[in-house]
A and B are shown apart, each in its own frame.
Chain A
């Protein structure tokens, strides 16, 4: 187990390096110029060129990347061009809100993903199973930016059940209950498609497990139907379920960016969106790296849990 952890930990390094490099290069393709954005369109070419030299933008891309990497190794992610503060400060400031949103969405994915999978896969071809299959098909196909607007309109504006924007009430912030009320719609928006994917993949494995000989013999031994489905079978889908759930962390971040924009959630996704609009490349670079790190480590943890859940690999 310790060997596995070490090996996987080393495996994450090239992934993060690769992500940072791809993003660095991709940003060069984005039209527009940071120096021009900062100085405005009335600035002279000479002044723009001077600022480019100060920011190091006139040097070759590879040199810029290696410089950035060297600074990263010292914990320096650079300065935000638009905000004038260190990128690290911006990220640390925003990632908390994002992790709260992610945590809530991930909890929804975990709880309802397994619940729907057990209810449908454990009763293959029952009316309930067919209903869940249809429901998850719809869920998996719903884009979060569309769902967010629909939920916002229905439950925020029409029924006025939930606030439509932000993390706390502006006028009188009310601690945890207030946070939870603000959290419902963005968390549901973020979770829905990942939840459906987890439910469907886990259901497939559940059907497979329900056809295993040990389920048949469990019936022959007189075990009750609920015990067989919800304990004997569900225990054996857990490795698959944990694995697919870990993979969803990345998709959740993608969805979270949209729901942060729709619901004005002050997280790293909203910050990333604003940074892209403003051509604030150091922030974009830092935010993407932070997201990639959460994704990679989330997956690592999921893989280790999945391994621990399999008696053949754990012992």
Chain B
């Protein structure tokens, strides 16, 4: 089964062409892992029992790399990203795994040490830029407080200078006017650029971008993506970008991790994976991206919806919705196997030992 991904992608024409004008160093990056997650498991303990949001997830982000984390709502992608910051919302709890950032396992660090990494080594931008800004403070005050936390070596004048230069770097022609505004006086795109400016205040090595363009209109999406790409190229900023939008990931990421049901289903070089998905879920996701060349065509979709996963579930997470499922898919959990150079997928169809239907 192969899929033809060429020509597909909602924002391809606007965003992708603009961005691909830069270069994508898709392979040959040195194995210099800035972030290395392995065996990450997150449980949500609710009155109805334990639900496993993230199960045995492994991924790594190399220095200077953009990693795209893809999945639909409830796939565990945001929780995985928040785990790195130590900000998994209650009642979620990391029950197993390692999160190694710059050779230190964050899960063994005291909270105070993780707090020091936030803002200074790891930046974060969210999917709702306006809601991510405190409605009661002017941008100037919010940037000042952020700089006070992330760059304690600066004095008041130094912070004001730095805030101005960050805003200029993010493309604001008139930083003073923006700094004097309250969040509700600014557009969503402006808010997101301000959020990025604040995330960069501590000159982090890694930026976690959780659906950074979801709340923005298409033209602004392209602008923000171009900005992230430029930061990656110019500053060597590593980015972990979380999205449900394959076209966006294709446009910006070097490597991709596809999550479903809290598990990594497929991972590898973004071009290789999307050119010929090995996992039926990746394939189904690709087919449900609207095709701008055939706008009237019926959009393919994946029947059913993701169901909450108990911690002791057997079988493949995607089996109930998979068009290719056969007997072992419901009883045996497939392993994430190396399919070819750099591409791994979790599917029984790829197991030469299994009888294919």
Q: Please state if A311 and B182 are interface contacts (CB–CB under 8 Å).
A: yes
> What class of interface size applies to chain B in its complex with A?
20 to 34
Q: Please state if A214 and B85 are interface contacts (CB–CB under 8 Å).
A: no
Q: Please state if A222 and B134 are interface contacts (CB–CB under 8 Å).
A: no
Name the B residues within 8 Å of A235 (CB-CB): 134, 136-137
Shortest beta-carbon distance from B155 to chain A in Å: 18
B-facing mask of A207-231, CB < 8 A → 1, else 0? Answer: 0000011101111111111010000
A221 to B146, CA, bound (A): 6
Within 8 A of A (CB), among B127-150: 128, 131-137, 145-146, 149-150
Interface residue? A33 (CB, 8 A)? no
Shortest beta-carbon distance from B211 to chain A in Å: 12
> What class of interface size applies to chain A in its complex with B?
20 to 34
- Considering only CB atoms, which chain A residue lies closest to B146 in the complex? A221
Assuming the contacts A213-B128, A216-B126, asked whether A222 and B115 have C-beta atoms less than 8 A apart, the reply is yes
- Considering only CB atoms, which chain A residue lies closest to B204 in the complex? A222
Q: Please state if B126 and A217 are interface contacts (CB–CB under 8 Å).
A: yes
Assuming the contacts A216-B126, A217-B124, A311-B182, asked whether A222 and B135 have C-beta atoms less than 8 A apart, the reply is no
Name the B residues within 8 Å of A216 (CB-CB): 87, 89, 126, 132
Q: Please state if B131 and A213 are interface contacts (CB–CB under 8 Å).
A: yes
Shortest beta-carbon distance from A307 to chain B in Å: 13
A43 to B351, CA, bound (A): 113
A115 to B296, CA, bound (A): 60
Shortest beta-carbon distance from B125 to chain A in Å: 8
A236 to B136, CA, bound (A): 6
Assuming the contacts A235-B136, A236-B135, asked whether A221 and B124 have C-beta atoms less than 8 A apart, the reply is yes
CB < 8 Å A-B pair total: 80
A236 to B184, CA, bound (A): 14
Shortest beta-carbon distance from B349 to chain A in Å: 39
Interface residue? A312 (CB, 8 A)? yes
Interface residue? B195 (CB, 8 A)? yes
Shortest beta-carbon distance from B237 to chain A in Å: 16
Q: Please state if A220 and B118 are interface contacts (CB–CB under 8 Å).
A: yes
Q: Please state if B87 and A220 are interface contacts (CB–CB under 8 Å).
A: yes
A220 to B199, CA, bound (A): 9
Interface residue? A172 (CB, 8 A)? no
Q: Please state if A214 and B118 are interface contacts (CB–CB under 8 Å).
A: no
Interface residue? B116 (CB, 8 A)? yes
Interface residue? B202 (CB, 8 A)? yes
Q: Please state if B150 and A221 are interface contacts (CB–CB under 8 Å).
A: yes
- A214, A223, A311, A315: the one contacting B149 at CB < 8 Å is A223
Within 8 A of A (CB), among B181-219: 182, 184-185, 195, 198-199, 201-202, 208
Name the A residues within 8 Å of B128 (CB-CB): 213
A298 to B184, CA, bound (A): 30
Q: Please state if A213 and B132 are interface contacts (CB–CB under 8 Å).
A: yes
Shortest beta-carbon distance from A298 to chain B in Å: 24
Interface residue? B119 (CB, 8 A)? yes
Name the A residues within 8 Å of B132 (CB-CB): 213-214, 216-217
Q: Please state if A220 and B145 are interface contacts (CB–CB under 8 Å).
A: no
Within 8 A of B (CB), among A46-88: none
Shortest beta-carbon distance from B80 to chain A in Å: 15
Q: Please state if A221 and B118 are interface contacts (CB–CB under 8 Å).
A: yes
What would 8 more interface pairs be, CB under 8 Å, given A309-B136, A315-B182? A213-B131, A217-B124, A221-B150, A221-B198, A222-B120, A222-B150, A223-B149, A310-B136
A residues lining the B interface (CB < 8 Å):
212-214, 216-225, 227, 232, 235-236, 238, 309-312, 315
3 nearest CB pairs, A to B: A222-B119, A220-B124, A213-B131
